[in-house]
Each structure stands twice: as C-alpha cells, then as structure tokens.
C-alpha cells in the first residue's frame, strides 16, 4: 500500500481493520471520502486464498461506476498477494464475465441485477464464500434493491463474515442489516454530534430564479481557480438539457445517467478522470462512492431530495483530506427542502444568498472574469475540431446516443440512396464515354 502512496490509515480503517481481520461482522459508517473501501478491501485480500480458484469474497454495490472502482481498488491492494477481483456489471457483454467466473475469480464485485443473472444461470457459485460486503448499504437495502439483495444473500453460506458500509446509516436500515449479520459491531468513525459532511468542504446555498439558473451555473464554471466540477441534476432529461447548453457555450462537459449505454458511461468517466472533460453533468448515479482526484467543486443544480442525498453528492469533493466547495441552487419551490437539509446537517450559520448571474457576490466569491473574457478564454482553450450541432462531448459522433435529428441514415436508406444515384441501364454516368465501334 505504501508503494501506491497509502501510508496513513483513516479513522474508519483504524477502527475496522482489527475487527474485520478477526472475522467479526461489522456495520461501518464514516464520512464520504475517508477510506471505507480499504476498510473491507484489505481484510478481503488477507483472508482470500489465491490458490483456491473459487469465489471467496463478494462485494455488492448499487451502481456500475462504483463497481468498477471498487474492483480496481481491491486489485491494487491484492496485487502482491496474487488476489484478483472481477467486476460483474450490467450493460457489458456477459460472455467475458462468464469466462472470468469459470476460470476462477477469488473476489467478485457486482451490481445486484447482473449478479442475479449469473446466479440463476449457474455461472456464479457461492458455496465457498467467506466474506460478504454490502457497500453503500443504505442504498443496497432500499426498497428498490431489497428483493435482489435478499436473493443474493440467500445463496451464500450461513457461516460467512458479513460487513456493511456507508456514509449514512438510518436506524431503520441498521435494524434491517442486523437480519443478515451475526451480532454485528456498529463502528461509527466520527464522534456523536459531528457533522456528516467533511469540514474541509465549504458549503454554499444560493437562492436562484429557475429562468436564470443556467446562467448562474455558467458564471460559476467560469471561475479561474477551479479544477473538475460535478453538476448534479435530479432527472435524466434535466441532464440532457443542461449538457446541451454547456456544450453549445463551449464548455468541455460530458453527461452521465442511467439510460446511457455502459460503454459510453465508461468512456465519459475515463475522459473526466483524465481531464479531457472538466465538467460532469450527472444524476445521482454518480453520487455514490466515486473517487475522482481533482474534483474541486460540486454543484447541486437541483436541490437534493433529502439530507442523505445531499451528503453523498457533496462527498464527491473534499475527499481524503483535500479541500472542496459545494454549491446548492435553491429555487422558490425547493426552499423548504433546502432548509430541512440545512437544519439536519447543522448548516444554518451560513445564510442563503439570493443571486443572479450578474450579482457582484458571485464575482467576489469566485474571483470571476467578465463574461466576455470568460468566453474568449473558452474559445482559446478549445480549438478542437468542430462538433456537429447538438453533439455532446464524450458521446460518439454518430449512433443511438446522438440527437435524433443527427442520427445516421439506416442501412436500408443508404442502399435506396445508392440505387437512386447509380446510372440506369442504357445511360452513361457522368465522366464516362460510350465505347466506340473501333474499341469494340
């Protein structure tokens, strides 16, 4: 771990590792960005026998992006020990996953739907399982996931070790979790009364007019001192509207939501991690567990529905001790929800500022250039080849994800077009000459 730059444990790791390594069942709660993955990943690596080609540890996660990240983190931790983790997610071809499972994967990280598919088809066998982990357990045990999770747990041996982790753990979820664990130890890494959010993250609430909200977003994105930014919207349609506006205004932005094909989601995330895109407009599919270095700001374009969603969204910044900024827009019909979040998380010391895109307060808080200077800077920074009208950064140039009015012609239409353009019998195509008698 030291070779990859991890030398000092976080509180959740200090508290959990001795218990987890001793085989104790755990319910672990800690702020976002404080090392929960390695709190269960290291015990998995220690316990798994690399010579035994059977599934010995199973980690169940709610989203595909988090699945790929957790599998990568466990691979990193287990590299010297010869422990290999396989990611099992929907939206990817099932064939390579079947091959990986039949060849002998010691650790499987997966989303509930695809894990159930492999269980029912007999490719995933859990008879030798030693450790079961539910990551983001409050989401995993939510009503939407509960039947799938219960079916997966029913396929595991009764003598397994069970660990559940999340940044938020309501009492109802803890009570439900106790059904699956044997006398679990509840480990809470922060003292009672501590904020659920990271102190290094500055949190701002702005009262904005719905018709001016996009312009306020653009002004904040013009700040010179930012790195990458995640913009959260409540709906997929909202993501599409916002991403189109940002791309049309010259921002290097990509979209992420649940209706996108998995290959496109992974491509957008790769470009965002590498800095080719510096704005990610997303639904809450990106709010759980993702660790992206250099994410300096989170903007809640729509007020989160409750304090749990708020904690997970803003937890994408200010991770691992770094500083971050979280901005939440509050429309007139969202004021009650925002006030409830502020009271529950003890954030009422900071007033809710009313701002417009022309407000001097924005310029003062974010050291903004003029609108003209910001537009010139964007134009100078992206002299890339012109994109077709309406095309999104990070999306394919053609195909099912392109806007409908730019989709390529179907194969049948192309064939009809070629036949119409082809020279008919008895006619001469342009540029041809009729064969002469002498030539014959």
What is the pLDDT averaged over residues 404-427?
52
CA dihedral 71, 307, 241, 385 (to 10 degrees): -40
Residue 190: pLDDT band (50, 70, 90) is: low
* Backbone dihedral angles phi then psi of residue 207, each to the nearest 5 degrees: -80, 120
359 contacts 206 by C-beta, under 8 angstroms? no
Residue 388: pLDDT band (50, 70, 90) is: very low
Distance CA 41, CA 74 (A): 6
Distance CA 253, CA 395 (A): 10
Domain ranges of the chain: 2-188, 201-381
Fold classification of 2-188 (topology level): Rossmann fold (3.40.50)
Question: Other CB atoms closer than 10 Å to residue 196's CB: what's the count?
Answer: 20
Residue 383: pLDDT band (50, 70, 90) is: low
208 SS3 class: coil
Distance CA 211, CA 215 (A): 8
**Which of the given ranges, 136-150, 379-393, 412-426, has the highest pLDDT on average?**
136-150
Taking the domain 201-381, which CATH number applies? 3.40.50.300
- Greater confidence (5 vs 238) lies with 238
Instruction: Judge if 2-188 and 201-381 fold alike in CATH terms.
Output: yes
* Backbone dihedral angles phi then psi of residue 202, each to the nearest 5 degrees: -80, 130
Q: Would you say the C-alpha torsion 97, 121, 89, 70 has a positive or negative sign?
A: negative
Distance CA 307, CA 310 (A): 5
User: Which residues are CB-contacts of 399 (< 8 A; sequence separation ≥ 6)?
Assistant: 407, 408
- Greater confidence (137 vs 328) lies with 328
Question: Other CB atoms closer than 10 Å to residue 60's CB: what's the count?
Answer: 26
């Amino acid at each position: 771990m030291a070779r990859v730059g991890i030398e000092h444990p976080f509180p959740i790791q200090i508290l959990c590792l001795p218990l987890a390594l001793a085989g104790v069942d755990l319910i672990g709660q800690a702020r976002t960005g404080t090392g929960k993955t390695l709190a269960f990943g290291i015990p998995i690596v220690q316990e798994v026998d690399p010579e035994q080609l059977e599934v010995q540890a199973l980690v169940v996660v709610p989203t595909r992006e988090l699945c790929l990240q957790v599998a990568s983190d466990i691979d990193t931790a287990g590299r010297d020990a010869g422990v290999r983790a396989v990611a099992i997610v929907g939206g990817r071809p099932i064939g390579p996953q079947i091959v990986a499972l039949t060849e002998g994967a010691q650790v499987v990280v997966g989303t509930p739907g695809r894990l159930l598919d492999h269980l029912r088809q007999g490719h995933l066998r859990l008879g030798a399982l030693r450790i079961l982990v539910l990551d983001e357990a409050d989401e995993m045990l939510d009503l939407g996931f509960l039947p799938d999770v219960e079916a997966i747990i029913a396929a595991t041996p009764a003598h397994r070790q069970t660990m559940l982790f999340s940044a938020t753990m309501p009492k109802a979820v803890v009570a439900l979790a106790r059904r699956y664990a044997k006398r679990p130890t509840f480990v809470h890494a922060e003292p009672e009364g501590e904020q659920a959010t990271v102190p290094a993250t500055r949190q701002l609430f702005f009262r904005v007019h719905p018709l001016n909200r996009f312009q306020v977003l653009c002004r904040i994105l013009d700040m010179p001192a930012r790195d990458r930014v995640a913009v959260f919207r409540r709906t997929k349609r909202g993501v599409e509207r916002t991403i189109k506006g940002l791309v049309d205004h010259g921002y290097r932005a990509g979209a992420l939501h649940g209706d996108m094909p998995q290959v496109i989601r992974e491509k957008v995330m790769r470009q965002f991690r590498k800095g080719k895109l510096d704005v990610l407009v997303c639904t809450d599919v990106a709010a759980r567990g993702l660790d992206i270095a250099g994410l300096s700001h989170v903007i809640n374009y729509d007020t989160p529905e409750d304090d749990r969603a708020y904690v997970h969204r803003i937890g994408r910044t200010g991770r691992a001790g770094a500083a971050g900024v979280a901005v939440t827009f509050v429309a007139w019909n969202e004021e009650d929800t925002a006030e409830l979040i502020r009271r529950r998380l003890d954030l009422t010391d900071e007033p809710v500022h009313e701002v417009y895109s022309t407000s001097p307060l924005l310029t003062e808080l974010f050291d903004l250039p003029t609108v003209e200077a910001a537009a010139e800077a964007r134009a100078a920074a992206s002299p890339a080849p012109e994109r077709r009208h309406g095309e999104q950064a990070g999306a394919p140039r053609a195909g099912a994800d392109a806007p409908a009015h730019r989709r390529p012609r179907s194969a049948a239409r192309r064939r009809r077009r070629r036949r119409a353009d082809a020279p008919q019998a008895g006619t001469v195509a342009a540029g041809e000459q009729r064969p002469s008698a002498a030539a014959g």
